[in-house]
Structure 1
């Protein structure tokens, strides 16, 4: 009977893992999106030169350990960016997204879908801001800034192109890619 109680307690505690902290940002072990629970796949720091820009986290329906596996996975995903740099101008974010798409999926770089998603970003990002990009398995892309809806578009190729910015063959930050893949 005691063994059973211990096993139940251990199972309960394992299921309620506390948030970890990176650069003062609490990274939750799971998030709820559209009544579905996505689990933290991994997280890390996006750096540009020597500057820490944001804590990037990948949440998914199942454990993903490689870029190709993540890009072929049809489950829902969430990319979360928690900004730690004092201020990042919207032009810099748009430029970084354009470059990431051009580097990984150049055939989509000038499409209407890419232009539309880039038009979602109309404000600068400041320390403490959170940007969520939901990538639905059906191709739904939903962007939010501090909980405010920026826009929605449905395009499976676009959803993969956005994911490839982080996990493609030419990621924006190789160390962030490793972190998001839990390595």
Structure 2
């Protein structure tokens, strides 16, 4: 009987261990995109000047533990941002992405692909908003805001450049990078 109770306790704990929450944002252990299941690779909080901006999560086909490994990986990925700050103006969002491109992929920073991607951001992000950036292994980049399609582009260099903003050599937030890589 004790063995049975212990087994039930272990199963109960294992069943709840996959549920994760950061700053009152529930982090899904997996997501399905285009009929493919992606597993949570890691998550963390993006901070700017001591303000919590969003809870970021990286989902991938396989476990990724380093920036170079993630950037080389040709599997599908999803970057999810759940905003916890009251509001971030559209211009600041565009500037932050542009800075990330300048820091990590300067050769693409002024490209037509980057300009087209930045043009998808047409409104401010506010507390409770969920932004998904799907980065397909085939180079498809799809942006969604609260489930509403912002747009789709196809460019493998752009998909890699977006990922580099988060896990590249010069990430927007080093602590978030560690979290996304599961550290």
Normalised by the shorter chain, which TM-score bucket?
A: over 0.9
Structure 2: which 5+ runs fail to align?
none
- Cα distance, 1:16 vs. partner? 7.5
Once the two structures are superposed, residues 8-30 of structure 1 have per-residue CA deviations (whole angstroms, 9 ceiling, x without a partner) of x95x9857754211011000110
CA–CA separation in structure 2 for the residues paired with 1:21 and 1:133: 20
**Corresponding residue for 2:27?**
27
Q: TM-score if structure 1 supplies the norm length?
A: 0.92
Aligned 1:53-68 pairs, distance under 5 A: 53-68=53-68
Distance in 1 separating the partners of 2:45 and 2:62:
22
| TM-score, structure 2 as length reference | 0.92
* SS of equivalent to 1:70: helix
Deviations 1:87-144 (A, max 9, x none): 0001111000000011000000000000000000001000000000000000000000
Task: Tell me what 2:98 maps to.
Answer: 98
| Correspondence 1:36-51 to 2 at 5 A | 36-51=36-51
For residues 63 and 30 of structure 1, the distance between their equivalents in structure 2, rounded to whole angstroms, comes to: 12
Whether the aligned pair in 2 keeps the contact of 1:139 and 1:156 (CA below 8 Å) is: yes
Pairing 1:123-138 to 2, within 5 Å after superposition: 123-138=123-138
Q: Name stretches of at least 5 consecutive residues in structure 1 with no aligned partner.
A: none
Deviation >4 Å, runs of 4+ = 12-17
**Contact 1:79–1:132 (Cα < 8 Å) also in 2:** yes
Please report the RMSD computed on the Cα atoms of aligned residues, expressed in angstroms.
Answer: 1.8
Q: CA deviation at 1:52?
A: 0.3
What does residue 113 of structure 1 align with? 113
Partners of 1:90 and 1:143 lie apart in 2 by 15
Alpha-carbon distance between aligned partners in 1 of 2:49 and 2:174, rounded to the nearest angstrom: 13
